[in-house]
Chain A
Amino acid sequence: MITGCGVVSPLGGGLRPFWEGLLAARSAVQPITGFPADDLDPHAAAEVRDVTPSDDDRAGAFALEATAQALADAGLEPAALDARRLGVALGTTLGGARLFERWLDGEAVGDPERIPYYAPAVRVARRLACRGPVVTPQLACASGTQAIALAADWVRNGRADVVLAGGADLLCRFVVAGFNCLRATADRARPFDVARRGLVLGEGAAVVVVEDAEHAARRHARVRGRVLGTGAAADATHMTAPDREGRGAARAMQAALADAGLDPAAVGFVSAHGTGTPYNDAMEAVAIARVFGPRGVPVNSIKGAIGHTLGAAGAFEAVLCLQVLAERIVPPTVGLAAVDPACAALDLVYGEPRPVAVDATLSTSSGFAGVNAALVLGRP
């Protein structure tokens, strides 16, 4: 069961600004102001502007804030939980990268333990005084999706009663220069659009509370949704370019559906990875059509609104799916005006929000090195 969620997004702190911003088709993409970026080309991104600016461990601060929100949303007090049955699964691709930049430059950065990839999860786990499993999935841009999958596995297998699961990532020169040098970026993300040129980076954290059903029932918790199935697969073809046939992504989606025991027709909404790069979106169109058939299910991408939040992206998209399940409406794909003929096999939601009949959703994520992960969520 998912009994709570917390969001620190470029659309604002908390679930409401995130969801209302998506429904209103707002884009948080602007020129970067959080660090010197004028020499970076392009230098637009979706920054978080209202969370603990004094905390120089940015990803850790995002993760702590999203965790606090998720616990409050779930009505859970960590001190009242059995610490040995409490876990953390938090994906990231950058961890303490801004601290790393400064440390490499010879600056004093305080505790160096805040730099490695495991640091945000450790910070959350120490705050909660948890004694259950604590893991940082490293599946590049599918890390947040895999974190929730891992949490669901732990709960299913009886390894934990409550797991804080999601992802956190941040913007910094390291990553903006990197995606720019790959020529993978643009000033504006236009997922699935014929004029798309590349992705726009974003930052933030999204965390959900994955809880054992009996544990949730005992405390009469409100259930936001259920993790019905998870799946992962490797392209095993290329390090940076997706398999153009979408075979790895399709296998991950099929594995998640099989794990859920659902036919594709039972899924009422697909949250695409939808980065806005020419290759990714074309690959996804092939992969989603391979699983769901041509125009078989409403699809959107939120990366035009909040940018590509890397290790947090899959977690944001899980929260999106919970909201779609609750509200039965799909936000439009910001940045999409004219669908690329190469993506015509998708029933894309754009322009206006679309009411949908939905009992199950699927979120698909892909990343560098050919990783793919998918998550099927259902109504309570």
Chain B
Amino acid sequence: MEVVVTGAGVVVERGAETHLRGALGLDADGSVPLGHLPEVVRGRASRAERVTQLLLAAGGRALATAGFDAAAAAETRAGIVVGTAFGCFLTNAAYQRRVAAGGQPAASPRLFAATVSNAAAGELAIAYRLGGPAVTLTAGGASGLTALGEAMEAIRAGRADVVVAAGVDATGDALAEWLAATGGAYGAPPAEAGAAVVLERTGRRGPEVCRLAGHASAFEPEPAGAAAGDGLAAAIAAACADAGVAPADIALVVSAAPPPLASLEARALAAVLGERRRRLLIPKRVFGETFGAAGILGVLAAGAEAGRGDPVLVLDVCPTGHVAALVASVPEAR
């Protein structure tokens, strides 16, 4: 069953917003733009940690474009699925440094309460009174598409009528140090972003942005191995089958592999789509490596580029081994 995207919101690094219509860039001082949010939400967001700010900024924009009102009655049939590679990593570092320096007396209740990766989804649920399932997950750098896929399933299974699906990750010194310690496997440059879409069974609120037709996620146990690619190939084939789309009909591919995994991605694409060259879009060239946000950014970037009705294949590929694929299309008549 197809699921319809009726709203979208994106926050990316300053300057990158020009590459995607409707996207917001970080403010000149590096802060997350919050001015577009309703006053009650803006107040919560201004006091929140960075990942939460990114999610509220993107999620708030997505809900507004889908026609939601923050002051409306609580929606118990509206859910949230958030994907994040590193979640509260930066908050954890800030909290732990205080504990290491001053012991328990230095532990901050405010920071500790935000050392769960679902804190951002909780703030979004409170801000917009979304009382349906609130799920946060991590699948490394494939968290965004994986979350989008699980959000599709929540709609398909009738667990919710509306789902905000989002991918989000923030960058900062502690994460930069950790990424450096991994030897650059994640690609560069790291960038922060929040990307959110509103999914519905039918386009009952806002205009249709695009349609999501099929998805799958998988794992590569040895992603750097010479023969890697089986997991991603299986995910691509399963996403096409879920969408009812023949792999040969895929018109545009959104590539996601960081440079060390380019051959893995190429092998998987060749195995399922054949050797015929497809149009390739590489959003990471303009948005940077945005980890959990990359997959949903890829869907929106593809939506802006694809011809109407053309099936688009969007990929997420991570050095952890997490991979995901999603088939989307832009409706014939927008």
Give A contacts to B, CB under 8 Å: 39-41, 83-84, 87-88, 93, 97, 100-101, 103-105, 112-113, 115-118, 122, 125-126, 128-140, 146, 150, 153, 157, 159, 173-174, 177-182, 231-240, 247-248, 251, 255, 367-371
Contact = CB atoms under 8 A, between A and B. Distances in A.
Interface residues of B, number: 68
Given A133-B217, A177-B99, A248-B131, A138 B108 contact: no
Given A113-B182, A133-B219, A138-B87, A239 B113 contact: yes
Interface in B69-122: 74, 76, 79-80, 84-87, 89, 92-93, 95-97, 99-100, 103-104, 107-109, 112-113, 115-119, 121-122
A54 B14 CA distance: 47
Contacts of A367: 116, 118
Nearest to B157: A153
Interface stretch (B5-13, B18-26, B137-145): B137-145
Q: Chain B at the A interface: mostly helix, strand, loop or mixed?
A: mixed
Given A236-B125, A368-B119, A135 B137 contact: yes
A125 B139 CA distance: 12
B100 A104 contact: yes
Contact of A140 (B99, B100, B116, B139): B116
Interface hub of A116, A135, A173, A237 (most chain B Cβ within 10 A): A135
Top 4 closest pairs, chain A to chain B, by CB? A369-B122, A234-B134, A178-B112, A232-B133
Contacts of A238: 126
B320 interface: yes
Given A84-B231, A153-B153, A371 B134 contact: yes
A129 B129 CA distance: 41
| Majority secondary structure, A binding face | mixed
Nearest to B114: A239
B321 A125 contact: yes
B181 interface: yes
B65 interface: no
A362 B115 CA distance: 28
Contacts of B61: none
A131 B234 contact: yes
B118 A138 contact: yes
B119 to A, nearest CB: 5
B107 A180 contact: yes
B216 A159 contact: yes
B136 interface: yes
B141 to A, nearest CB: 10
Given A104-B93, A234-B122, 18 more contacts: A100-B96, A101-B96, A118-B322, A122-B322, A125-B219, A131-B230, A133-B216, A133-B219, A134-B218, A135-B150, A137-B135, A138-B116, A139-B118, A180-B107, A233-B133, A234-B79, A369-B119, A371-B121
